[in-house]
Structure 1
Amino acid sequence: MFLSRLIYIFTIFIVEIVVAKNGSSQHFPENFLFGVSSSAYQIEGGWDSDGKGPSIWDEFTHLHPEKIVDRQNGDVGANSYEYYLDDVEAVKSLNMNFYRFSISWTRILPTGDLTQVNEKGIEYYNKIINKLIEYKIEPMVTMYHFDLPAHLQLLGGFANSAIVQYFEEYANLLFNRFGDRVKYWITINEAAEFCVKGYGGKIHAPGINAHGKGEYLCVHNALKSHAVAYHLYKREYYNQYKGQVGIALDSSFFYSDSNDTVVVNREMQFTLGWIAHPIFSSDGDYPAVMIDRIANHSKAEGRLVSRLPTFSNHWKRTIQGTSDFFGLNYYTSRYIRESLEPIGENPSVARDRGNERFTKPEWIKGASDWLYSVPKGLGDLLRWIKAEYNNPEVIITENGWSDDDRLEDDSRVTYFHDHLEQVLDVILNNGCNVKAFSVWSLVDNFEWSQGYTEKFGMFFVNMSSPRKERIPKKSAYFMEELIKKRSIPGI
Structure 2
Amino acid sequence: MFQNNFLWGSSTNAQQFEGGWNKGNKGVSIADVRVIPGANPEAGFEEFKQAVNHYDHYKEDIAFLGEMGFGIYRFTIAWTRIFPNGDDQEPNQEGLDFYSRVLDELEKYHIQPVVTLYAYDLPYHLVEKYKGFLSRQCVEDYLRYVKTVVSAFKGRVKYWVPFNEQNLLMFDTMYMIGYPCKDRQESFTAEHHMNLAYARATKLIHEIDPEAKTGGNVGNICPYPATCRVEDVEACETYKYMVGYNYGDIYARGQYSGTYMKSLENLDLDNVILPGDLDIIAQAEPDFLSLTYYHSSIIKDEGKDKLLVKSNLKAVNPYLKQTEWKWNIDPYGFKHFVKDYHHRYQLPILILENGLGYRDVLEEDGTVQDDYRINYLRDHILRMKEMVEEGVEIIGYLTWSAIDLYSTREGFGKRYGFVYVDKDHDFKRIPKKSFYWYKKVIESNGEEL
TM-score (normalised: structure 1):
0.83
User: Is 1:482 aligned to residue 438 of structure 2?
Assistant: no
> 1:331 — aligned with what?
294
Cα distance per residue 1:422-462 (max 9 Å; x no partner): 11101102x11112110100111111232222111111001
Change (3 A) 1:398 1:52: same
In 1, the alpha carbon distance for the partners of 2:369 and 2:238 equals 40
Change (3 A) 1:146 1:427: same
Contact 2:18 2:50 (8 Å CA) reproduced: yes
Q: What pairs up with 1:294-443 in 2 under 5 angstroms?
A: 294-295=264-265, 298=266, 305=268, 309-310=272-273, 312=275, 314-340=277-303, 342-343=305-306, 349-350=308-309, 358-369=315-326, 371-389=327-345, 391-406=346-361, 407-429=368-390, 431-443=391-403
Change (3 A) 1:372 1:221: same
In 2, the alpha carbon distance for the partners of 1:217 and 1:148 equals 16
**Deviation at 1:186?**
1.1
Change (3 A) 1:115 1:340: closer
**Deviation at 1:65?**
8.6
In 2, the alpha carbon distance for the partners of 1:222 and 1:246 equals 14
> 1:292 — aligned with what?
262
Decide which of 68, 78, 82 is 2:56's aligned counterpart: 82
Cα distance per residue 1:240-281 (max 9 Å; x no partner): xx1111222201111123174533321111111232212213
User: Is 1:444 aligned to residue 404 of structure 2?
Assistant: yes
In 2, the alpha carbon distance for the partners of 1:487 and 1:96 equals 13
In 1, the alpha carbon distance for the partners of 2:122 and 2:200 equals 18
The amino acid of 1:198's aligned partner reads T
> 3-state SS of the aligned residue for 2:300?
strand
> 1:178 — aligned with what?
153
Cα distance per residue 1:380-415 (max 9 Å; x no partner): 1122112321x2100000001101113111111111
Contact 1:204 1:449 (8 Å CA) reproduced: no
The amino acid of 2:247's aligned partner reads I
In 2, the alpha carbon distance for the partners of 1:275 and 1:312 equals 21
In 2, the alpha carbon distance for the partners of 1:259 and 1:322 equals 40
**Deviation at 1:488?**
4.1
> 3-state SS of the aligned residue for 1:213?
helix
Change (3 A) 1:118 1:381: same
Contact 1:46 1:76 (8 Å CA) reproduced: yes
In 1, the alpha carbon distance for the partners of 2:250 and 2:144 equals 23
Runs of 4+ in 1 over 6 A off after TM superposition: 354-357
> 3-state SS of the aligned residue for 1:358?
coil
In 1, the alpha carbon distance for the partners of 2:405 and 2:399 equals 14
**Deviation at 1:213?**
2.7
**Deviation at 1:209?**
4.1
Contact 1:114 1:169 (8 Å CA) reproduced: no
**Deviation at 1:182?**
1.1
User: Is 1:252 aligned to residue 221 of structure 2?
Assistant: yes
> 2:240 — aligned with what?
268
Contact 1:111 1:149 (8 Å CA) reproduced: yes
In 1, the alpha carbon distance for the partners of 2:282 and 2:399 equals 28
Contact 2:85 2:123 (8 Å CA) reproduced: yes
**Deviation at 1:484?**
0.6
TM-score (normalised: structure 2):
0.91
> 3-state SS of the aligned residue for 2:182?
coil
The amino acid of 1:446's aligned partner reads Y
Change (3 A) 1:151 1:337: same
**Deviation at 1:53?**
0.4
**Deviation at 1:103?**
0.7
Decide which of 11, 15, 30 is 1:56's aligned counterpart: 30
Alignment identity in percent?
24
> 2:364 — aligned with what?
none
Decide which of 403, 408, 416 is 1:456's aligned counterpart: 416
> 3-state SS of the aligned residue for 2:294?
coil
Cα distance per residue 1:309-333 (max 9 Å; x no partner): 5475553454454211101001111
In 1, the alpha carbon distance for the partners of 2:234 and 2:10 equals 36
**Deviation at 1:362?**
3.4
User: Is 1:228 aligned to residue 200 of structure 2?
Assistant: yes
The amino acid of 1:366's aligned partner reads T
User: Is 1:191 aligned to residue 166 of structure 2?
Assistant: yes
In 1, the alpha carbon distance for the partners of 2:194 and 2:304 equals 32
Number of corresponding residues: 437
Contact 1:57 1:205 (8 Å CA) reproduced: no
> 3-state SS of the aligned residue for 1:140?
strand
> 1:71 — aligned with what?
44
The amino acid of 2:354's aligned partner reads N
Cα distance per residue 1:205-233 (max 9 Å; x no partner): 62514232332122211111111111112
The amino acid of 1:128's aligned partner reads V
Change (3 A) 1:307 1:250: farther
> 3-state SS of the aligned residue for 1:435?
strand
> 3-state SS of the aligned residue for 1:115?
coil
**Deviation at 1:376?**
0.6
> 3-state SS of the aligned residue for 2:264?
helix
RMSD after superposition: 2.4
> 3-state SS of the aligned residue for 1:49?
coil
Q: Which runs of 5+ in 1 are unaligned?
A: 1-26
